């Protein structure tokens, strides 16, 4: 993801549509040709990971806590608990708010892929490019979904740091049982 983001920044720098550019030392590839090569090299693993996540986590609901069902009632209860700072962290269960957020992130990854395809093959896949409002609008969709994913990742990792044992679970893929002293 870091490689896709930073090569994307180099691509953006070649034809910026806002009044700023990213410092070239923050980019991967440096200039357009090599940045595009990095980008196209990395999209395959990102796409494969996204498809695997959709299949395992969303469709089959394996590999972690359940992501659905989601109910309005559950959302309201969780929102009240968040408001009162009472929402407890339960390692094996996702709250309804967590479920919505994770599903939104998987959808966001889909949007990155779809808008990326619309930019990559704007003639062959013009259905996508046009559905997103044309080539220039497609660039904005791609760019802003990148920022949304960056924002999610920063907040997600920051929150995980506040509950350190989740970091081990995130990095190793195993859940760590913390035994209380009372039980030895």
Residues near ligand HEM (CB under 6 A) are: 1, 4-5, 8-9, 11-12, 39, 43, 46-47, 112-113, 116-117, 119-120, 139, 142-143, 146, 149
Cβ atoms of residues 7 and 35 within 8 Å: yes
The DSSP code for 28 is S
Q: Which is nearer to ligand HEM, 95 or 116 (CB)?
A: 116
Q: Provide, rounded to whole angstroms, the least separation between the CB of residue 170 and ligand HEM.
A: 18
Q: Provide, rounded to whole angstroms, the least separation between the CB of residue 97 and ligand HEM.
A: 23
d(CA 47, CA 89): 30
Q: Provide, rounded to whole angstroms, the least separation between the CB of residue 34 and ligand HEM.
A: 13
Cβ atoms of residues 115 and 142 within 8 Å: yes
CA triple 150-10-28, angle to 5 deg = 80
Q: At what angle do helices 96-120 and 72-83 cross, to 10 degrees?
A: 110
Q: Provide, rounded to whole angstroms, the least separation between the CB of residue 78 and ligand HEM.
A: 28
């Amino acid at each position: 993801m870091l490689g896709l983001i930073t090569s994307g920044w180099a691509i953006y720098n070649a034809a910026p549509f806002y009044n700023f550019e990213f410092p070239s030392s923050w980019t991967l590839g440096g200039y357009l040709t090599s940045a595009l090569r990095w980008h196209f090299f990395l999209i395959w693993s990102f796409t494969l990971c996204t498809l695997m996540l959709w299949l395992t986590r969303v469709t089959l609901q394996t590999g972690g806590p359940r992501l659905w069902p989601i109910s309005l009632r559950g959302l309201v209860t969780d929102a009240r608990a968040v408001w009162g700072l009472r929402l407890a962290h339960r390692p094996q269960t996702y709250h309804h708010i967590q479920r919505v957020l994770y599903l939104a992130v998987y959808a966001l990854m889909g949007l990155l892929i779809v808008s990326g395809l619309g930019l990559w093959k704007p003639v062959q896949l013009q259905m996508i490019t046009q559905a997103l409002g044309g080539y220039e609008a497609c660039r904005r969709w791609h760019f802003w979904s990148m920022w949304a994913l960056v924002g999610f990742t920063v907040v997600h990792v920051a929150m995980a740091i506040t509950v350190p044992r989740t970091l081990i679970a995130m990095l190793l893929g195993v859940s760590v049982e913390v035994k209380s002293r009372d039980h030895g």
